[in-house]
Amino acid sequence: MPIIEMKKVFLLGHRNEKELVFDLLQKLGTMQIADIKTGSTWDEFEALLEPEHPTESASDFDNRLSMIRYCLDFLQRNFPMRKSFLQQFTGAKMELTRAQYGAYIEDIGQVKELYESCRQIDDELVQIRNEETQYTNLISEMAPWKNLEVPLEETKDGPFAVMRLQIIANDHLEYVKGKLEKEIPNAYLEVISGDNEHLYFFFTCLAEDYQQVLEIFKEKAVTAAAFPGFTGTAKNNIDDLQKKLENLEQKRAAALNKLEDLLKYRLLLMACYDYADNEYRKLDAVSNLARTDNSFLLEGWVPAPVVADLEYTMAAKTGTAIVVSRDPLPREEVPVLLHNKGPADAYEVVTKLYSTPRKSEIDPTPYLAPFFFVFFGICLSDAGYGLVLSLIALFMLRKLKLGGMGKQLLQLLFYGGISAIVFGVLLGSYFGDLLKLPALWFNPLEDPMRMLFYCFAIGLVHIYFGMGMQAYRNIKAGHPFSALFDQGFWFIFLNGLIMLLLPDFSGIGRYLALGGAAGLILTQGRSQQGVVKKFFSGLLSLYNITGYLSDVLSYSRLLALGLATGVIAAAINSMGGMIAGSTVGTVFMVLVLFGGHLFNIIISTLGSYVHTSRLQYIEFFGKFFEGGGRSFQPFGIKNSYIDVVEADEAL
């Protein structure tokens, strides 16, 4: 069975052994802990038991985690660790041996200290940034007055005279100047500098005249600039500020240097993060259980085959813990764990990308696997490309040591490459037409109609298979008549229609098609009320033939993608052939061939993968598969940064 059966497990123990039990559970990683308070049996327990809350040490670890997270983020912000292109898909973890990992964990006490240092450097950097903005703003404010000889502290209102720094829009200067000359001849105005919009001028007049001057200024929105607290000329001040900025830059470099010294602790922080995270989740998991004064009760899901393991471990390693299991109740939502043996395992990734099946459903993985294998091969259909793809996938499998879906995807590509080799040999394509070997079967470039026919045929098999799966589901669910009406009659009707097209079988085909259609008309309206409604919705259901037609036609993409791979490869070969000849030409030819074919492999593999997936999701799954189950997520050790490996594997 590809969907593993689950057991509901109750674990009862003495409170003294609570931590030990959780420790064991986490190491085993086979139990999905359910919150007992939301379980179906809570009503019965509620009078007897109290919900448990996490202890204080949980919040200790939580605090520590947020400290480490802060430090790691801070380091990452200033000294980013780059992930390679591949790692962005696979995630990058550091490899540590168990001993190294343990040594780092010993030093978890250092976290607080590191946090303080990071905090301090962070504050310093913020302070530096603030001062920097302040100084740069001042500099840009003073810059227009750079050529003013008057010290800044003297630009003020004295008892007899007023000295001011003023800013005016370019167009208005003439007007203000004219008016001042006319009305206050004693006033003095000197333009210091100007830019696109404004002119900056020095202005002085008698204090008694200033009221009148202000009236004129107001008219043209002349504003004042002032630098209280600064002495000396603007130029001197700007130089000072610039020096201060340089100082700040040095300070920043010093702070970053200090931080760079802390970089060597990054691995320690990562290890401690993973450790603290796991400890925290272990302590926090306690909130899922219920207790009496001296005992606790825990509820969860465990895959049926490993229940015995759990029972054994609990019996061997603890004194009091007892494991009780039962089959799931019909109403309970059971988590789903897929397990496929052999090559089919790789194709789980296809199913999971669509949706986890429900508990009551069939896992479609083993059934889609052979179709996926064949379709992928037809789409890529080149022996050379298949070989390269398989080798790359194999190399990455060895090199990257991925788990879960990443590994499955690479395995899927490996099998896809093998399939492409098979179809490449059958259809005579080796890096396009680079090696001119005859096709073992036939060349689709010479006879595309024949290939199209085969594509439709294999598509029809795929669709029939999906219908068969639904029929099986119906029968298993106790509706054999639904299987006959909804799938059987369609099967007869469709086959009849196909036979009608073949001259030899058109006689039988006519009866089959008519019989199937009659069956459909009579049965497809069975959920409706009244004979007339039943008949018309039965008649209308024949319209679904367009759906089947478009489903079958959809498989033409197999031919199209196969041709595309081959023709692009041929195009690359002929481009290479055009420049071959001289020595330089030959070098370029090799480059063109290498780059071009690599590009084509990537783009064709992507196309093959996504279009083959689509045929599974829309054409195949549409017939019988619903999905929407929840996947099994066991309580176990989860690391974000560190991969603990055995000593001899470490780099």
Partner 1 sequence: MDGIQIALLGAALAVGLAGIGSAIGVGIVGQSAAGLVTEDPDKFGQTLLLQALPGTQGIYGLLTGFIIMQRVGIIGGELLPLSVANGYAFLMASVPIAIVGLLSAVYQGRVSAAAVGLVAKRPEELGKGIVYAVMVETYAVLALLASIMLLFGIPV
* Interface residues toward partner 1, by CB under 8 A: 83, 85-86, 88-89, 353-354, 448-449, 452, 553-554, 556-557, 559-561, 563-564, 567-568, 571, 574, 577-578, 603, 606-607, 610-611, 613-614, 617-618
- CA dihedral sign of residues 83, 87, 91, 95: negative
Q: How far is the CB of 595 from partner 1 (least distance, A)?
A: 15
- For partner 1, the closer of residues 155 and 608 by Cβ is 608
Residue nearer to partner 1 on the CB measure, 354 or 588: 354
Q: Are strands 223-225 and 290-291 parallel, antiparallel or unpaired?
A: unpaired
User: What residue type is 69 in one-letter code?
Assistant: R
CB of 424 to partner 1, least distance (A): 18
The nearer residue to partner 1, 179 or 614, going by C-beta atoms, is: 614
Write down the least CB distance from residue 443 to partner 1, Å.
Answer: 12
Q: Tell me the torsion sign for CA atoms 260, 261, 264, 267.
A: negative
What are the DSSP E strand ranges found in 41-187?
50-51, 94-97, 161-169
Query: In the bound complex, what is the minimum distance in angstroms from residue 389's beta carbon to partner 1?
Result: 17
Contact (CB, 8 A) for 314 and 11:
yes
| Nearest CB to partner 1, comparing residues 253 and 567 | 567
Q: Give the residue with the Cβ less far from partner 1, 285 or 559.
A: 559
CB-based burial label for 104 (10 Å; 0-12, 13-18, 19+): buried
For residues 353 and 590, which CB has a smaller minimum distance to partner 1 in the complex? 353
**CB-nearer residue toward partner 1: 354 or 505:** 354
Least gap, CB of 334 to partner 1 (angstroms): 22
List the structure tokens of 292.
């009496």
Which residue type sits at 249? E
> In whole angstroms, how close is the CB of 179 to partner 1 at the nearest point?
52
Shortest separation between residue 559's beta carbon and partner 1, angstroms: 7
Q: On the CB side of 261, how many CA atoms lie within 13 Å of its CA?
A: 9
Q: Map 338-377 to HEC letters.
A: ECCCHHHHHHHHHHHHHCCCCCCCCCCHHHHHHHHHHHHH
Closer CB to partner 1, 329 or 603, in the complex: 603
**Residue 245 or 570 having the CB closest to partner 1:** 570
Q: Are 340 and 363 in contact (CB under 8 A)?
A: yes
- Burial string for 146-171 (b: 16+ CB within 10 Å, else e) reads bebebebeebeeeeebbebbbbbeee
Question: Using CA atoms, how far apart are residues 384 and 349, in angstroms rounded to an integer?
Answer: 26
Shortest distance, CB of residue 330 to partner 1, whole angstroms?
30
Q: What is the Cα–Cα distance from 163 to 155, expressed in whole angstroms?
A: 5
Instruction: Classify burial at 624, counting beta carbons within 10 Å of its beta carbon; exposed 0-12, middle 13-18, buried 19 or more.
Output: buried
Query: In 3-state terms, what secondary structure has residue 502?
Result: coil
Q: How far is the CB of 567 from partner 1 (least distance, A)?
A: 5
Instruction: Return the structure tokens found at 18.
Output: 């609570």
Least distance (Å) from partner 1 to the CB of residue 599? Answer: 10
Whole-number minimum distance, CB 428 to partner 1, in Å? 16
**CA separation for the pair 558, 562 (Å, rounded):** 6
Q: How far is 11 from 467, CA to CA, in rounded Å?
A: 43
| Widest distance between CA atoms in the chain | 121
- Least distance between partner 1 and beta carbon 373 (Å): 19
- Tell me the closest approach of the beta carbon of residue 65 to partner 1, in angstroms: 21
User: Which CB sits closer to partner 1, 470 or 613?
Assistant: 613
Could you tell me if 418 and 372 are in contact, meaning their C-beta atoms sit under 8 angstroms apart?
no
List all residues 6 or more positions away from 29 whose beta carbon is below 8 Å from its beta carbon.
634, 635, 636, 637
Choice between 77 and 533, CB closer to partner 1: 77
For partner 1, give the closer residue by CB, 135 or 555.
555
Nearer to partner 1, 104 or 273 (CB): 273
- Spatial separation of the C-alpha atoms in residues 233 and 406, rounded to whole Å: 67
- Shortest distance, CB of residue 70 to partner 1, whole angstroms? 18
**Would you say 92 and 401 are in contact if contact means Cβ atoms under 8 Å apart?**
no
Burial of 96 (0-12, 13-18, 19+ CB in 10 A): buried
* Cβ proximity to partner 1, 480 vs 577, nearer residue: 577
Retrieve residue 641's tokens.
Answer: 């940064």
Per residue, the 3-state secondary structure of 104-150, as one string, reads HHHHHHHHHHHHHHHHHHHHHHHHHHHHHHHHHHHHHHHHHHCCCCC
